[in-house]
Amino acid sequence: MSEARPQPPQPLAGLRVVEFTHMVMGPTCGMVLADLGAEVIKVEPIDGDRTRRLLGAGAGFFPMFNRNKKSIAIDLHKPEGAEVARKLAASADVVAENFKPGTMAKYGLDYAALSQVNPRVIYVAHKGFLPGPYEHRTALDEVVQMMGGLAYMTGRPGDPLRAGTSVNDIMGGLFGAIGAMGALIQRGITGRGMEVQSALYENNVFLVGQHMLQYALTGKPAAPLPARDNPWAVYDVFTVKDGEQIFLAAVSDAQWTQFCRILGLEDLAADPALATNNDRVRARPKLLPLLRERLAHRSAAELATLMEQAGLPFAPIRRPEDLFDDEHLLATGGLADVRLPDGPRAGEAVKTTLIPITLDGTRLGVRLDPPRAGQNTDELLEGLGYGASDIQALHAARAVA
């Protein structure tokens, strides 16, 4: 068992969530509810969630999105295992899943079946698409980014590029959790649960909605962000001394004046052709090369210091691994220790990121390390009323592990 940690506010304490999930989308929903205090039980195959064994860009999925959860390993293909899963689901306030349409119905674990047993259950289905012409397609984050306009907006013209993280999977799980919490409030009024659906494609369309509305209002298609019509003249990445890079911005006339003052660009501040933001935007093709030339000999650290002292927007260009040493995250408790459950570093503690909110001034931390596959199987079976001999028989039949 994982060592208990001091607990921040837990508004969902007493709530039981059973999740039949893998990869990122469904586990994100469960993680959010778990971080908020719910008892979240992850149902895994006998040999564990395959996400545990991903390599490369997927190696961080399981330890990132499965903290604060318990694990039970069940073989749903065996009648005894499916019966255990149904009993477990019947004990839940919330059931979450992210498998292909029709998968859960094969085991009597769909909303129609579970709501007959427990009308109060809230069922959160995470899918590639909401019901409609596309619903039986196989979706991935990259698939919906390509078909939903996000890859087009991220890449250079003619070179669609997926965003640098699993944005739709993660946000799809967040919307699933939001829907679950809304349904919980409604259940408190009516006494009945409901089905909640969240989908990758619709999440992606929501993300690009601002560009759709831009077109609706202006009649002009939104250009990919690397080639966009920028509304601000100084809003870009600059390569400076020793090849370092830094993002600098001045998005108002007052900021432009400050920008010029702190960087010794008084001649540009006095130029009437650059007096207003729109003047500078029109002059951007000439202004930016001039700024790049003037700033090339300055160090990124010097520029950051000057920009911060003046209250102007700036950002160093960092890689994900740099964030482990970020002074703000370290000072504010934005990173927390978890012990890895699998892989060559199993048992070692590493830092993980927390959901970006506080409750009563406190970050929602890690109460339970990501579980080993089936770590809590026996105790959960006991809680469902299985006796020692029943549990032994289930193990012998390889219906649970």
Spatial distance between the Cα atoms of 258 and 311, rounded to a whole number of angstroms? 9
Total-model pTM: 0.94
Domain boundary among 261, 287, 319: 319
pLDDT in tens, 302-323: 999 999 999 999 999 999 999 9
Task: Return the percentage of the chain with pLDDT > 70, whole number.
Answer: 98
- CA 226-228-232 angle, to 5 degrees, is 105
Higher-confidence residue: 77 or 7?
Answer: 77
Cβ(269)–Cβ(262) below 8 Å? no
The residue behind tokens 């929903």 is 29
In this prediction, residue 1 carries a pLDDT of: 46
Kindly state whether residue 223 falls inside one of the protein's structural domains. no
- Examine residue 265 and state whether it is found in any structural domain, yes or no: yes
Distance of CA 46 to the CA centre of its chain: 27
Question: Of 346, 344, 362, nearest to 354 (Cα)?
Answer: 362
What percent of the chain is modeled with pLDDT above 90?
A: 97
Position 37 in a domain: yes
d(CA 124, CA 198): 8
- Amino acid letter for position 170: I
- Which structural domain range is residue 169 located in? 16-208+333-396
**How far is the CA of 307 from the CAs of 200, 239, 243, 258, 318, in angstroms?**
39, 16, 19, 9, 17
Confidence at residue 3, expressed as pLDDT on a 0 to 100 scale? 52
Task: Say if 324 falls within a structural domain.
Answer: no
Same domain, 61 and 186: yes
Which structure tokens are listed for 311?
């209250």
Contact 199, 172 (CB under 8 A): yes
Residues forming a β-bridge with 73? 44
Task: Considering only the C-alpha atoms of the chain, give the largest distance between any 2 of them, rounded to a whole number of Å.
Answer: 88
Does the pLDDT value for residue 369 go beyond 70? yes
Number of Cα atoms under 13 Å in the Cβ half of residue 298: 19
Q: How far is CA 333 from CA 317, 362, 363, 366, in A?
A: 22, 9, 7, 11
How many folded domains does the chain comprise?
2
Q: Are 91 and 59 members of one domain?
A: yes
Of the three residues 319, 352, 374, the one that is the final residue of a domain is 319
- Is 239 a domain residue? yes
pLDDT computed for residue 54 by the predictor: 96
pLDDT for residue 158: 96
Look at residues 285, 319, 353 and tell me which one is the last residue of a structural domain: 319
Q: How many helices (H) and strands (E) does the chain have?
A: 17, 13
Q: What string of H, E and C letters represents the secondary structure of 4-36?
A: CCCCCCCCCCCCEEEEECCCCHHHHHHHHHHHC
Q: How far apart are CA 32 and CA 40, in angstroms?
A: 10
| Gap between the Cα atoms of 21 and 35, Å rounded | 17
- Are residues 267 and 376 located together in one domain of the fold? no
Which residues, listed in sequence order, are joined to residue 60 by a DSSP beta bridge?
none
Q: CA–CA separation, 31 vs 254, rounded Å? A: 43
**Gap between the Cα atoms of 213 and 303, Å rounded:** 36
| Tokens coding 73 | 């390993």
CATH number at residue 244: 3.30.1540.10
Q: Do 46 and 188 share a domain, yes or no?
A: yes
- What pLDDT was estimated at residue 215? 97
As a whole number, mean pLDDT of residues 337-354 equals 96
* Structure confidence at residue 5 (pLDDT): 52
Name residue 196's beta-bridge partners. 124
Q: Are residues 126 and 60 in the same domain?
A: yes
Angle separating helix axes 25-35 and 167-190, nearest 10 degrees: 50
Residue 267, Ramachandran bin (φ over 0: left; ψ between -120 and 50: alpha; else beta): alpha
Query: Is residue 258 included in any domain, yes or no?
Result: yes
| Chain segment 82-97, per-residue pLDDT in tens | 999 999 999 999 999 9
| Whether residue 364 sits in one domain with residue 306 | no
With respect to residue 103, please indicate whether it lies within any of the assigned structural domains.
Answer: yes
Residue 64 has pLDDT above 50, yes or no: yes
Is the model's pLDDT at 129 over the cut of 80?
yes
Nearest in space to 233 (alpha carbons), one of 251, 246, 248? 251
Pairwise CA distance, residues 148 & 142, whole Å:
10
Q: What is the CATH number of the domain that holds 189?
A: 3.40.50.10540
- Looking at the fold, whether 239 and 370 belong to one and the same domain comes out as no
| Same structural domain, 41 and 139 | yes
Q: Is 234's pLDDT higher than 50?
A: yes
Residues 25 and 80 in one domain: yes
The yes-or-no verdict on residue 394 having pLDDT over 70 is yes
pLDDT-based confidence at residue 391 (cuts at 50, 70, 90): very high
Alpha-carbon radius of gyration of the chain = 26
- Output the six-digit token pair for 290: 């001039």
Between the CA of residue 157 and those of 60, 151, 162, what are the distances in Å?
31, 10, 13
176-196 pLDDT, tens per residue?
Answer: 999 999 999 999 999 999 999
State whether 234 and 181 are in the same domain: no
Q: What is the pLDDT of residue 351?
A: 97
Are both 293 and 188 inside the same structural domain?
A: no
Q: Do the domain assignments include residue 248?
A: yes
Question: Same domain for 69 and 158?
Answer: yes
Where is 294: in which H helix or E strand?
Answer: helix 284-295
- Average pLDDT over the chain, rounded to an integer: 96
